Amino acid sequence: MLLTLDYAEQLDKKDRLNRFRDEFYTKPNSIYMDGNSLGLLSKRAERTLLESLNDWKEHGIDGWTKGKHPWFFLSEKLGEMMAPLVGASAEEVIVTGSTTVNLHQLVATFYKPEGKRTKILADELTFPSDIYALQSQLHIRGYDPDTYLIRVKSRDGRFLEEEDIIEAMTDEIALIILPTVLYRSGQILDMKRLTAEANKRGILIGFDGCHSIGAIPHSFSEWGIDFAYWCNYKHLNGGPGSVGGLYVNRKHFGTFPGLAGWFGSKKEKQFDMEHTLTPSETVGAFQIGTPHVLSLAPLLGALEIFEEAGIENIRAKSLKINQYLMDLVDHELSDMGFSIGNPIEDKRRGGHISLEHKEAARICKALKENGVIPDFRAPNIIRLAPVALYTSYSEVWQVVQILKKIMGEKQYEKFENEREVVA
């Protein structure tokens, strides 16, 4: 029964988030499984972007304070809309910069080497851009990254063990930067536990939320996380180059920004044009320059959908549809060289499935030729992300049938087993 299309169609009928699918631009004869790299455009995001363009057309410079979405307050407004998704208050979240820039800002602000506490703790599976940022932050302070950046090892190349991370929290560590969800294996780290352990040792801890924002609920403030940063173009569907997110726990309000700029001013003071910065008393202090308004605007519409759908409902469907994909893989593809490289338990699994296969690169090319958009991560991972808001169970069923056909007919053999420029 599980294996039939009929079963998938029944699941679609019972799916309460099904109604959001029509809000997105999906293409006929194409199955999008890459919402964890770039979420699809929704009609609402398109609308709010066009409205912002119109504000420019109608108001010129006055668009900063007039029009449908006044630009001067957009980063704060979006921070308020995003706060429930990370479990924070409105003053603790701002939409600004990009993931990597926000990490630079946060390290420049909160990395304060002192006495023996001089090192930064990260992990060996972390996204490269984060590592580059940390290395350069150490470098400009005169610390050799080879000595001062500690990377917790993975036991199997896929997952991190919380025990291993906690063991590495020595009295030499000044700052910890970890992902909420690992970008390859989709493992969720136990943020609550890691934060409690870091707090206990007087170490500041921050998280990269790129792969969890919009996919799973968070309780950043309740857990006492010091800061976090993320991008909004993956599960949140903010569009290519969408402006990023930044969270700073209110206990750090008043900390002077490491990278200061005039948009970090207290709003009433910004246009006094003084040469002494009076920083915002909220997370707003960590903004730098003029916000990228046209890359903020789609988020207004994109976030409305999250508010209506509810992140708890999104998580519930995400778990179910990802489990369904794993079950089908188990039943249909198990003797074709595939193995599942993501955590199996719900509690440790983020929003995508990581299928491992030694021919992964060319299987991805064959998938594309068959109208399925996957995501390849070298050397051997096919990431598939059934997205709660727009992927149907029937599509997941079809993807597995297509994979089965590609393998049965050895369709992948006509491609080179090498990655393309992007993914």
Ligand X SMILES: *Cc1c(COP(=O)(O)O)cnc(C)c1O
Q: Which residues bind ligand X (CB under 6 A)?
A: 98-100, 127, 129-130, 179, 183, 208, 210-211, 231, 244
The annotation status of 130 as a binding-site residue, yes or no, is yes
Provide the CB-side half-sphere exposure for 234 (13 A, CA).
24
Q: Which is nearer to ligand X, 127 or 263 (CB)?
A: 127
| Token duo for residue 145 | 């990254």
Report which secondary-structure segment, H or E, holds 151: strand 149-152
Q: Which is nearer to ligand X, 37 or 221 (CB)?
A: 37
Q: Which is nearer to ligand X, 237 or 265 (CB)?
A: 237
The annotation status of 118 as a binding-site residue, yes or no, is no
Provide the CB-side half-sphere exposure for 221 (13 A, CA).
17
Q: Which one, of 213, 212, 219, 280, lies nearest residue 252 by Cα?
A: 280
Q: Which is nearer to ligand X, 37 or 118 (CB)?
A: 37
CB of 240 to ligand X, least distance (A): 10
CB of 97 to ligand X, least distance (A): 8
The annotation status of 148 as a binding-site residue, yes or no, is no
The annotation status of 170 as a binding-site residue, yes or no, is no
Name the β-bridge partners of 148.
Answer: none
CB of 98 to ligand X, least distance (A): 4
Q: Are 240 and 108 in contact (CB under 8 A)?
A: no
CB of 231 to ligand X, least distance (A): 4
> What b/e readout covers 391-409, taking b as 16+ CB neighbours within 10 angstroms?
bbbbbbbbbbebbeebbee
CB of 229 to ligand X, least distance (A): 9
The annotation status of 96 as a binding-site residue, yes or no, is no
Q: Which is nearer to ligand X, 239 or 244 (CB)?
A: 244
CB of 162 to ligand X, least distance (A): 18
The annotation status of 26 as a binding-site residue, yes or no, is no
Q: Are 341 and 158 in contact (CB under 8 A)?
A: yes
Residue type (1 letter), 352: H
Q: Which is nearer to ligand X, 98 or 391 (CB)?
A: 98
| 3-state SS string for 30-98 | CEECECCCCCCCEHHHHHHHHHHHHHHHHHHHHHHCCCCCCHHHHHHHHHHHHHHHHCCCHHHEEECCC
Location of structure tokens 């050799």: 144
The annotation status of 64 as a binding-site residue, yes or no, is no
Q: Which is nearer to ligand X, 88 or 210 (CB)?
A: 210
Q: Are 305 and 389 in contact (CB under 8 A)?
A: yes
The annotation status of 147 as a binding-site residue, yes or no, is no
Residue type (1 letter), 355: L
CB of 236 to ligand X, least distance (A): 12
Q: Which one, of 40, 52, 43, 77, lies nearest residue 297 by Cα?
A: 52
The annotation status of 180 as a binding-site residue, yes or no, is no
Binding site feature residues: 99-100, 127-130, 208, 211, 233, 262, 290
Binding site feature residues for pyridoxal 5'-phosphate: 99-100, 127-130, 208, 211, 233, 262, 290
